[in-house]
Amino acid sequence: MRNALLTAAGIAGGALLVLAAPLAAQAHVTVTPSGTAAGSHTVLTFAFSHGCEGSPTTALTFDIPESIDSVSPTLHPNWTIEKVADGDRTAQVVYSAITPVEDGYRDTIELSVRLPEDAAGDTLAFPVLQSCAEGETDWNELAEEGGDEPESPAPTVVVTDASDDGHGTTAAGNDQGAAHGDTASDAAAASSDDLVARVLGVGGLVVGAAGVVLALAARRPKASA
């Protein structure tokens, strides 16, 4: 019986690891741009679904790269907005929650910005300070080339060439509708990844349950002939 229980515990533990891996991977503040062409206007959608070690989120402070000269925060019914200036430019945008966002609930914040005209190939970082009822997390770390992802990575956007198709509205004002297709593709990919994670998680639980049943059945005394 002891061996059977150890086997079942090992299988169940593996199933829990399968479930925990995708959850840990989602514990970030992410950004999805509507377009990435140099010189274009784009909407950056920042998303989070966690607090600070379980504590609800009360504020998000976004650092704006010095190369970006135009920022328009999107109004949100649960957040007040403050733009912090540094000379003639907006250096930070602070969203303060009217009702703190509980851990485990997803929310999004949108900023409309104009990407620099001469930044093709550059990676722009948007560090975010997540303040909570208890504690805070500063998402400001950048990965070194060829290195592992840091513990608290900053959301980043890679700027593409202005001549690329499907990357938003150019500085001249030409609307390239394919950008919406890119955003839809990103959303579909994210949905597909989430579906795979769920299937793997459920599969792990099924395997664990089956292991318990088989282990107990193997220990059941056989009936006499």
Query: Exposed, middle or buried: residue 199 (CB in 10 Å: 0-12, 13-18, 19+)?
Result: exposed
CA distance 102 to 99: 9
Q: What does pTM read for this prediction?
A: 0.66
pLDDT of residue 146: 77
Dump pLDDT digits (tens) for 68-106. Answer: 999 999 999 999 999 999 999 999 999 999 999 999 999
Dump pLDDT digits (tens) for 105-158. Answer: 999 999 999 999 999 999 999 999 999 999 999 999 998 877 788 999 999 999
- Percent pLDDT > 90 in the chain is 56
Does residue 61 register a pLDDT over 50? yes
- Give first-to-last CA distance, the chain, whole Å: 24
Phi, psi of 8 (to 5 degrees): -65, -40
Which numeric CATH code is attached to 28-169? 2.60.40.2230
How do the domains of the chain map onto residue ranges? Answer: 28-169
CA distance 113 to 94: 15
Which has more confidence, 107 or 24?
107
Tell me if 196 sits within 8 A of 25, measured CB to CB: no
pLDDT of residue 147: 78
